[in-house]
């Protein structure tokens, strides 16, 4: 199963955005993406042609780099056109088939505002929350008609004009690590979910060598000690330090989480390859192979990666209430009927491989902290369409009670499935089940002499639902 099919929402900046597009728009596997970019990087980062000799040539190269960037825009544009052609963010059938959404930050060249180009906004907003809109730190670019769709290759490196929107630059200038943008967008898309099941941030390497502060004599003579030079250096160190950006987001989330940092660390992950000595230049294409080998060796044996892989197995499943069987209220409690579903359809080759792996691991479910004892293996719990569907019946005193479903692996490792735990009331809202009769049922029971519970009647409400991983 390709790695991207485990994640419903993905954000990337600069080269990271190109990787996201290769995975989600083109449906490539990770190893195919590496091969593609290894080939294209030699063309993109070959540098500018020298014109003339001596001081004049040096001056020309310096001025050209300052005005138009270190590398020719034509090399980057040609490579992007070769990969994506005239495709737009809304054209990917593969992305639609797996139910994923992606976003890429860009910067308005005129106002320097942070903007988002996404695969899911279209011509109208997907959310309508005035509070979120008023306090937003960015704006979303929307396609107003079919003729002004935002092309994939228009979002990178050199400033590009997007018809009907303006001119935009690489989003790394404002959000080199776009993790906070992804968190904000997730909250807007799925306000009924308190957080993602798991959030993964991937860096491009970090040097293990501590930098020693050195006094720059010549710049100090030119600019002094309190000047534009220090401002630029501070901006560079703050904005382009992905680990620091992630640490700030972690502290913000921990401050609003009941479990603090310990609770956040259960689902928030940062993977960044430690490199001895200085990191290679970003344009050093010869270093890609050795870095890839180091990353493979380092993360293959990482306990954190292995734990996340186990969590991914559990997050392949989710719980839903059965629309045709409304909860029944009797003897002071509700009887709720549901199904444990798998996000991978039974027709997918990955489904049979997943079932085989779970059978080998002697996997089973734990419902409301009670082990689901069954002689049947996981692969036998199929509905008439060949999709996974394990029936569940739970009795709870209130619809505000949580349904807690977990997958038990290796006999002792217990992991929550997607969106678990979640209250029954929350499930009814997220599934947009119009069960108004549920209120009448309880009112009838109250009239006959049973005490009415304030939290039992469910007011119907509609919300957009996104299953996050």
Tokens of 175: 């959000």
- Taking 50 as the threshold, does the pLDDT of residue 124 lie above it? no
Instruction: Determine the average pLDDT of the residues in 299-318.
Output: 93
Spatial distance between the Cα atoms of 413 and 420, rounded to a whole number of angstroms: 16
Q: What is the average per-residue pLDDT within 183-189?
A: 88
Question: Pick the residue with more confidence: 303 or 143?
Answer: 303
**Least confident stretch, 95-104, 138-147, 229-238, 363-372:** 138-147
Q: What is the pTM of this model?
A: 0.77
Least confident of 40-54, 244-258, 353-367, 419-433: 40-54
pLDDT tier, 70 (very low <50, low <70, confident <90, very high otherwise): low
Model pLDDT, residue 232: 66
Residue 454 pLDDT class (50, 70, 90 cuts): very low
- Specify the pLDDT at position 446: 41
CA dihedral 351, 387, 392, 7 (to 10 degrees): 50
Residue 288 has pLDDT above 50, yes or no: yes
Report the mean per-residue pLDDT for the chain. 77
Residue-level pLDDT at 270: 94
Chain-centre distance for alpha carbon 161: 27
Where residue 453 falls among pLDDT bands split at 50, 70, 90?
Answer: very low
Average pLDDT (196-212) is 84
Residue 147's pLDDT band, with cuts at 50, 70 and 90, is very low
Does residue 73 have a pLDDT over 60? yes
Q: What is the Cα–Cα distance from 201 to 30, expressed in whole angstroms?
A: 16
CATH number of 3-313: 3.40.1090.10
Per-residue model confidence (pLDDT) at position 222? 53
- State the pLDDT at residue 128: 52
Phi, psi of 219 (to 5 degrees): -60, -35
Which residues lie closer than 8 Å to 341 by C-beta, 6 or more apart?
Answer: 317, 318, 319, 320, 387, 388, 389
pLDDT of 36 reads 86
What is the distance between the terminal CA atoms of the chain, rounded to a whole angstrom? 15
Query: How many CB atoms lie under 10 A from the CB of residue 103?
Result: 23
φ, ψ dihedrals at 249, nearest 5°: -65, -40
**Within 10 Å of residue 371's Cβ, how many Cβ atoms?**
12
Listed by start position, the domains of the chain span 3-313, 317-447
Q: Which residues contact 265 (CB under 8 A, 6 or more apart)?
A: 250
Give every CB contact of residue 157 below 8 A, 6+ residues apart in sequence. Answer: 14, 69, 73, 76, 170
Instruction: Output the pLDDT for position 69.
Output: 54
Between CA 271 and CA 386 the distance in angstroms is 37
Query: Measuring CA to CA, how many Å separate 45 from each of 22, 80, 106, 361, 416?
Result: 19, 13, 21, 47, 45
- Smallest CA-to-CA distance from 199 within 288, 280, 265 is with 265
129, two tokens: 């929350």
Share of the chain above pLDDT 70, in %: 73
Which pLDDT belongs to residue 111? 86
Checking if the pLDDT of 143 tops 70, the result is: no
pLDDT at 443: 47
pLDDT of residue 440: 44
């Amino acid at each position: 199963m390709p790695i991207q099919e485990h994640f419903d929402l993905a954000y990337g900046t600069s080269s990271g955005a190109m990787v996201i597009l290769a995975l989600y728009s083109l449906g490539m596997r990770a190893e195919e993406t590496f091969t593609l970019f290894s080939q294209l990087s030699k063309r993109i980062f070959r540098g500018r042609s020298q014109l003339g000799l001596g001081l004049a040539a040096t001056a020309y190269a310096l001025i050209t780099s300052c005005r138009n960037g270190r590398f020719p825009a034509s090399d980057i544009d040609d490579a992007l056109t070769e990969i994506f052609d005239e495709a737009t963010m809304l054209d990917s059938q593969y992305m639609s088939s797996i139910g994923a959404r992606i976003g890429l930050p860009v910067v308005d060249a005129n106002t320097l505002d942070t903007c988002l180009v996404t695969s899911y906004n279209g011509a109208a907003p997907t959310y309508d929350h005035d509070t979120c809109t008023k306090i937003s730190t960015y704006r979303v670019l929307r396609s107003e008609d079919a003729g002004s769709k935002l092309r994939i290759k228009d979002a990178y490196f050199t400033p590009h004009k997007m018809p009907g929107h303006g001119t935009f630059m690489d989003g790394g200038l404002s959000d080199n690590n776009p993790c906070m943008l992804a968190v904000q967008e997730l909250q807007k898309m799925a306000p009924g979910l308190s957080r993602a099941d798991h959030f993964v941030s991937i860096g491009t390497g970090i040097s293990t060598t501590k930098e020693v502060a050195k006094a720059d004599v010549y710049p100090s003579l030119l600019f002094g000690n309190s000047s534009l030079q220090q401002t630029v250096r501070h901006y560079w160190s703050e904005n382009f330090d992905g680990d620091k950006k992630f640490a700030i987001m972690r502290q913000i989330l921990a401050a609003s989480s009941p479990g603090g940092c310990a609770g956040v660390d259960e689902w928030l992950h940062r993977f960044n390859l430690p490199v001895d000595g200085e990191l290679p230049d970003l344009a050093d294409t010869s270093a890609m192979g050795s870095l890839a080998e180091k990353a493979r060796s380092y993360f293959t044996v990482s306990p954190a990666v292995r734990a996340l892989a186990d969590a991914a197995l559990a997050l392949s499943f989710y719980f839903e209430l059965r629309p045709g069987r409304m909860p029944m209220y009797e003897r002071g409690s509700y009887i709720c009927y549901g199904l444990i579903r798998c996000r991978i359809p039974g027709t997918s080759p990955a489904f049979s491989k997943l079932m085989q792996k779970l059978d080998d691991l002697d996997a089973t479910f734990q419902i409301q902290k009670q082990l689901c004892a069954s002689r049947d293996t996981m692969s036998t719990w199929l509905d008439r369409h060949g999709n996974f569907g394990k029936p569940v019946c739970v009795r709870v005193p209130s619809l505000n009670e949580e349904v807690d479903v977990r997958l038990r692996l290796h006999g002792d490792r217990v992991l929550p499935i997607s969106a678990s735990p979640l209250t029954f009331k929350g499930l009814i809202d997220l599934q947009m089940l119009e069960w108004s009769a549920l209120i009448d049922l309880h009112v009838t029971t109250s009239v006959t002499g049973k005490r009415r519970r304030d939290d039992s009647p469910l007011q119907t409400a509609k919300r957009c639902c996104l299953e996050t991983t």
